[in-house]
Every structure is written in structure tokens, then in C-alpha cells.
Amino acid sequence: MPVRQLRNDPDEFVAEALRGLQGAHPELVHCQPDPAYVLRAQPARRAKVALVSGGGSGHEPLHTGFVGAGMLDAAVPGAVFASPTAFQIAAAIRASDRGHGVLLIVKNYTGDVLNFSIAAELVADEGIEVGTVLVDDDLATEPAAEGGPGRRGTAAVVAVEKICGAAAERGATLAELVALGRRVVDSARTMALALAACTQPGQDRPSFDLPADEVEFGVGIHGEHGVGRRPFALARELVPQLAEPVVRALGLASGASVLAIVNGLGATHALELSVVHQELSDYLNGLGVEVARSLVGPYVTALDMRGCSVTLLRADAELIELWDAPVRTPALTW
């Protein structure tokens, strides 16, 4: 059976969803239609550094669902799986700046890096101070050598937005936020697998097919192929295969403490994600690694992809305290 969606014209999908987000949360967000960006409905009481992120749509709640107190000041959505324009990004930066500078949180994709960088130059000429944190946590795309686009940015971006968002509310400067965000990125790595690919609006077939006895390892969040296929297996066998390279890349050893994100890629049920978390905890506890805090749910999706990603972030007292700080955004509130 072809895959179908609840939508109207695929070309209006994102614009109509933004109207829906606005209608559902008028107290939290203000969605500008053209150029499209999403702003906090009520600016922070105290002027502070503004946080702006964005990227292709199809990953909701990222980024638009994370606009609000304690997280982003603005999010800039592109079309599905396509970067927003520099013009959109610059408009969002101008609208969020309150004279203390703007932190740009950018996932490492060629289009996003280019367009955020052009936007940063545009507004710098207007006197707005801008700093950038590039998020590149996806181990599946670890380059074998220097050069090339490097690792993709995936679910660690949620931690960067949350932790830097909390620090900004407490009055951190732009330079401090850039350093903090880079520290989070350096401490975090992610690995993902898919049981089934996603279907783009306007298509009626998933972007790739998988044999019944295989899973796609190292998938990204755009329906692209992963880095290899492995036998389908029980969660207790698959989850350590996700966690092991992350543990190795971060050099986690007994006594370490981590923040864990078990992220659903779109069509993965909450029961499944809870089982994945259980297996992840068991695996890490077996290594003597403590899971200090966890986030379990669909936070960075790839439309209706079935599967999950596991992100670990080396924790310390400062990061845990910022992780725990209050937040109120469309996706993170009643």
C-alpha cells in the first residue's frame, strides 16, 4: 500500500504546519510566514544573548518545537529536508537580537553551513554580533581522513540548544555560549539505525527498501542510505551495536557519567524507545558508566522513518545543572 500523509499540497506542507503550530501555541510562539521563521511570542524578561537555529523541515519537533523560554529565541525552517535561505536566517537573527549578540546553532550540512554563514555576514555588516556552534555528532559519517564535509549534525543539537538556552537565560555572554556549545558538541556522539526508511511528501514509496532480515546502520535524518546493513535482531543485540562505537569515540570508561538521548526517528513507538533505553542502560551500567539524565522520545525525526538514534554526552555537574533548568516550548510543555 502506498504511504499517505495527512496534508494538502506538498509544497504548502511546511507553511501550513507553521500556521498550525502558531494556532496551537499562540502564547509561546509567533510564526512569521514570509520570510518564514518562528519567534518566541514573549521575549525573555531580561535582555540576553539570542539563540537561533534551523534547518530543513521534516525533523519536528526540531527546531520549531524548541522555541521558547530556556531554549531557542528563533527557529528557521526550510522546506522538507532542505536548508532555509540566508535571507530567512538573517531576518530571524535581526528579529531576535536584543543587543547582546546572537548564537547560531547549525547542524553540519553543506546547505545549512553555507546559508547560516552568509546570513551571519549579512547581519555582521549591520552591527549584530554573531557566534556559531557547528554540531557534528553523527559517528556514521566520521571521515577517514581530513577534508570533506565531516560528521553530520543530528540529535546532539537538542542538547546544545537546551544547555546553551539555559545558560543564556542565566546571562552567559556570547563568547561563553560559543565555548559552552562547542564543549557540548565535543562531548557528544550519535549512532542511528533504521528498520524502515521514510517517505517524502509527494512520494508514495519509502526512499529505500530493506530486506526483512536486515536493518540499515548509520542512517542520517534525511532518508539517505546508512553506512551498511546488519542482520535484524532483538533490541538487546542491536542497542549495544549503536552504543559501542559511541562509547569508544567518547572514550567512556568505568566511573564516567553521561546524558543519554534515545531518539525516535518518526514512526517508532514509545514502548520501543523505552525498551531501547532499558537496553542502553544495561549496556552502560555493565561498563560502569552512569546514565545521569535521559531524554527518550521523538525529538529529531526523519519524517516517518522507523528506527532510533542513541546520543551520549559526557556529563559534568555544570552540564547536568543546565540540562535540568526549566524550559517551556511547544514540544516541551503541556
Residue 59 annotated among the catalytic residues of the structure? yes
The smaller minimum CB distance to a copy of itself, of residues 117 and 278, is found at 278
Catalytic residue of the set 25, 63, 222, 277: 222
- What phi and psi values does residue 81 have, to the nearest 5 degrees? 60, 25
Report if residue 63 touches a copy of itself, rule: CB under 8 A.
no
For 271-275, the CB contacts below 8 A with 24+ separation are: 272/235, 272/308, 273/297, 273/298, 273/308, 275/235
The smaller minimum CB distance to a copy of itself, of residues 118 and 273, is found at 273
Report if residue 13 touches a copy of itself, rule: CB under 8 A.
yes
Residue 222 annotated among the catalytic residues of the structure? yes
Q: Which of 32, 117, 173, 278 binds a copy of itself (CB under 8 A)?
A: 278
CB of 306 to a copy of itself, least distance (A): 8
Q: Where are the alpha helices (DSSP H) in the chain?
A: 13-24, 86-96, 110-125, 156-169, 174-186, 235-250, 270-286, 317-324
The smaller minimum CB distance to a copy of itself, of residues 121 and 214, is found at 214
- Where in 193-232 is the site for a copy of itself (CB under 8 A)? 195-196, 204, 209-212, 232
Catalytic residue of the set 25, 59, 63, 277: 59
Q: Which of 75, 307, 319, 322 binds a copy of itself (CB under 8 A)?
A: 307
Which amino acid, 204? D
Report if residue 2 touches a copy of itself, rule: CB under 8 A.
yes
User: CA 323, 325, 328, 332 torsion: positive or negative?
Assistant: positive
Report if residue 75 touches a copy of itself, rule: CB under 8 A.
no
Using CA atoms, how far apart are residues 55 and 14, in angstroms rounded to an integer?
Answer: 12
The smaller minimum CB distance to a copy of itself, of residues 20 and 149, is found at 20
Buried b or exposed e, range 182-191, using 16+ CB within 10 angstroms: bbbbebbbbb
Closest CA to 88 of 35, 52, 132, 31: 35
- Where in 233-252 is the site for a copy of itself (CB under 8 A)? 234-236, 238
Report if residue 78 touches a copy of itself, rule: CB under 8 A.
no
- Where in 110-169 is the site for a copy of itself (CB under 8 A)? 162
Closest CA to 116 of 153, 69, 147, 67: 153
Report if residue 332 touches a copy of itself, rule: CB under 8 A.
yes
Report if residue 23 touches a copy of itself, rule: CB under 8 A.
yes
Q: Which of 224, 272, 290, 320 binds a copy of itself (CB under 8 A)?
A: 272
Using CA atoms, how far apart are residues 77 and 88, in angstroms rounded to an integer?
Answer: 9
Assess contact for 271 and 225: CB atoms under 8 A. Answer: no
Assess contact for 289 and 246: CB atoms under 8 A. Answer: no
Report if residue 317 touches a copy of itself, rule: CB under 8 A.
no
The residues annotated with a catalytic role in the active site are 59, 222
